[in-house]
Amino acid sequence: MKDNKLHTPMGMRDFLTGFCGAKLEIQEQLSKIFYQYGYSPIECPTMEYLEVFEGTGSVSPQQMFCTQDRDGETLVMRSDITPQAVRVAVTSFDETDYPLRFSYTGNVFRNNESDQGKLREYTHCGVELIGVNSREADAEVVALAIRSLLAAGLSDFRIDIGQVQFFEGLFEELMRFGMDTRSCQKIQNYIIQGDFISAQRQAEKYALPENLRTIFQELPILIGGKDMLSKVSSLIDNQKINASINDLLEIYNILKDHRLSCYINFDLSMLGHLDYYTGFIFRGYTHGIGFSLLGGGRYDKLISKFGKECPSVGFSIKIFDLLSAMQNLDKIRPQPRIETLVAYGREGRMRALTTADALRAQGIGVENSLIDAKLDVQIQYAKRKNMSGIIYFFDSENIRLIDLIDGQQADMTIQDLLGEDKEEAACRGQASSFRTQQSEEKEEV
């Protein structure tokens, strides 16, 4: 029988020291680039009333973790942060504050089926731009997504942008030739699932003209540059389709001014939920990885579910997927390690602790030894931790410097080492004596 206290629930995981350090560093870099673009952080509760997420279309009810509080209200562990940001915009700000630029970092929870092998807890970092309906706003969000991946340390990636109105126009054309709403919905679901063959077969049940049949035959390859958009425009003349293509070209031209268009591909086969996204939509990919690292787009109807009409656009980065991709590409930067152990006897404890604090105040990491043991035991411990040196305090004046790289040891007084009785000077002497290499490591990173 499985002992549950020794296991994490299905779809949950622990982040161990090295991976967790990289995760926190990436989140810090993303928060910094968000701030530099003018996006202010918000933090929302892990649990919300069901009504915050109900009917938004971002996550199905079956994917939500629900419970009841003592008053009988249904609570949900947040499955998406965007509806929370919209709730904050409606309840805490008014139109005079617009546009609102929010950023966030938080965990979301989705009750995925256990046999799918998917996680049920994710960390998302993202932004929401509320109150502006323009291609300038759309391009800024894409530019920020690109800058975010670059800030995290990823360089080999692409951003695919599409337009859900392309499919709205395509479905209009299908219904002109006798296709019913139910069949259009089936095709939409197939495309969302990436099952283009089934979408094509469903379309071929109807007597469609050659141009529409060609569109469905080429759905999987409607990815590329401006030539691909021109080809689609020549195949079909529909107001929404033409508007969607012009919309994508305008965003692309603005990104050229951002000098970021080299990361952009067009993908007309990209389709989100039509009741959620209302305009352009985009996802980020890196080579050799079969899943998206980030996703976003325009969702102008969402805020209406909270009692207002207001345009909105945003994106979120899936931190675990980003880390996995960077790990596969050997892009995770090594975490700086502690180089020096500060050890002491009872008589040297006070001076050792104050010296260690002085080193930390200068940005140098040192570890206090908590082992009440002989010096040779301290040496073995430091070697196991792959440290470079030890400062051993016999008392408030006398110390021993031990270089674990070449094995040299030297006994001296604090004054001999520092040349002055100032704790703040400790970092200079010890950094040199024990090859802390902190500054060198930072430069290499």
Residues 412 and 423: beta-carbon distance below 8 Å: no
The rounded distance, in Å, linking the Cα atoms of 316 and 180 is 35
| For residue 423, pLDDT beyond 50 | no
> Residue 262, Cβ neighbours under 10 Å: how many?
9
The rounded distance, in Å, linking the Cα atoms of 252 and 139 is 8
- Residue with more model confidence, 118 or 408: 408
**CA 154, 157, 161 angle in degrees (round to 5)?**
130
User: Of the ranges 7-21, 40-54, 126-140, which one carries the lowest mean pLDDT score?
Assistant: 7-21
Residue 424 has what pLDDT? 45
Q: How far is residue 197 CA from its own chain's centroid?
A: 32
Peptide bond preceding 9 in cis form (omega within 30 of 0): no
Residue 283 has what pLDDT? 95
As beta bridge partners, residue 335 has: none
Mean pLDDT value of segment 21-39: 94
How high is the mean pLDDT of the chain? 86
Helix (H) or strand (E) holding 204: none
> Residue 389: what residue type?
G
**Could you give the C-alpha distances from 142 to 127, 353, 374, 420, in angstroms and in order?**
11, 49, 59, 55
Ranges of beta strands (E only) in 319-388 are 340-344, 366-368
Going by C-alpha positions, the residue among 413, 410, 430 that lies closest to residue 366 is: 430
As beta bridge partners, residue 125 has: 105, 317
Mean pLDDT value of segment 378-385: 92
Ranges of beta strands (E only) in 176-293 are 223-224, 264-267, 280-286
Residue 115 has what pLDDT? 57
Would you tell me the crossing angle of helices 349-361 and 426-433 to the nearest 10 degrees? 90
Question: Which pTM was predicted?
Answer: 0.83
Q: How far is residue 121 CA from its own chain's centroid?
A: 13
Going by C-alpha positions, the residue among 332, 341, 307, 320 that lies closest to residue 434 is: 341
Mean pLDDT value of segment 377-406: 92
Mean pLDDT value of segment 246-261: 96
Going by C-alpha positions, the residue among 394, 349, 391 that lies closest to residue 367 is: 391
Share of the chain above pLDDT 70, in %: 91
Cα dihedral 297, 298, 299, 303, rounded to 10, equals 120
Residue 63 has what pLDDT? 85
Instruction: Give the 3-state secondary structure of 133-191.
Output: CCHHHHHHHHHHHHHHHHHHCCCCEEEEEEEHHHHHHHHHHHHHCCCCHHHHHHHHHHH
Residues 81 and 124: beta-carbon distance below 8 Å: yes
The rounded distance, in Å, linking the Cα atoms of 303 and 224 is 33
Residues 229 and 253: beta-carbon distance below 8 Å: no
Identify the three-state secondary structure at position 89: helix
pLDDT band at 432 (very low <50, low <70, confident <90, very high): very low
Helix (H) or strand (E) holding 410: strand 409-413
Residues 276 and 258: beta-carbon distance below 8 Å: no
> Residue 67, Cβ neighbours under 10 Å: how many?
11
| For residue 437, pLDDT beyond 70 | no
Residue-wise pLDDT for 113-143, tens only, equals 765 667 888 899 999 999 999 999 999 999 9
| For residue 1, pLDDT beyond 80 | no
Tokens of 384: 């196991």
Ranges of beta strands (E only) in 132-212 are 157-163
pLDDT band at 89 (very low <50, low <70, confident <90, very high): very high
Mean pLDDT value of segment 181-196: 85
Ordered domains of the chain (ranges, CATH)? 4-328 (3.30.930.10), 340-444 (3.40.50.800)
pLDDT band at 367 (very low <50, low <70, confident <90, very high): very high
| For residue 281, pLDDT beyond 90 | yes
| For residue 313, pLDDT beyond 60 | yes
pLDDT band at 430 (very low <50, low <70, confident <90, very high): very low
Mean pLDDT value of segment 265-286: 85
Would you tell me the crossing angle of helices 226-235 and 210-217 to the nearest 10 degrees? 150
Going by C-alpha positions, the residue among 220, 215, 221 that lies closest to residue 203 is: 215
